[in-house]
Amino acid sequence: MEPDETQYLLPDGSTVWVLSTSVASKNLSKLLAMFRSGAAEPLIFGDAGQPEGVVIPFEVWRALVETATDEEGFDSSYSIERHRLKNPGGPSVPIEEVAAEFGWDLDEPIDDSEFRKPK
């Protein structure tokens, strides 16, 4: 008998929990209630402990589609920030995650010469 939930190791060393397909199907209504309450944790499911599908909130999916199709990245970044502003009670987002969303390299030197006072 397959376990209800299996821990799966990702290539980067982090782990996710994979629900069996039968358990995932039984919990869809609970997941929808969580999405409506503002929780956006994905439901990862599959058979034999292998991730095969993910259920995410519709707004997250839209943001992913925008990111994948927007060459400049503006529309998706705007959508993400608009979502965060509409839901201010959410958890704080680390600056590294924000930088990754915008495609910024925090270690890249910045030319700030135009902002320096002349000597």
Per-residue pLDDT tens digits for 81-101: 777 777 777 667 787 887 887
Lowest mean pLDDT among 2-16, 52-66, 89-103: 89-103
pLDDT digits (tens, 9 = 90+) for 59-69: 888 878 777 76
pLDDT for 109:
82
Query: What's CA 32's distance to the chain center, in Å?
Result: 17
6 DSSP assignment = E
* C-beta neighbour count of 57 within 10 angstroms: 19
Question: If you average pLDDT over residues 104-115, what whole number do you get?
Answer: 78
DSSP 21-57: HHHHHHTHHHHHHHHHTT----EEEESTT---EEE--
At residue 59, the pLDDT reads 85
Digit-coded pLDDT (tens) for 26-50: 999 999 998 898 887 889 999 989 9
pTM above 0.75, yes or no: no
Amino acid at 46: G
C-alpha distances (whole Å) from 102 to each of 36, 61, 72 are: 26, 17, 10
**Would you state the pLDDT for residue 7?**
94
Q: How far is CA 95 from CA 24, 52, 63, 75, in A?
A: 33, 30, 19, 20
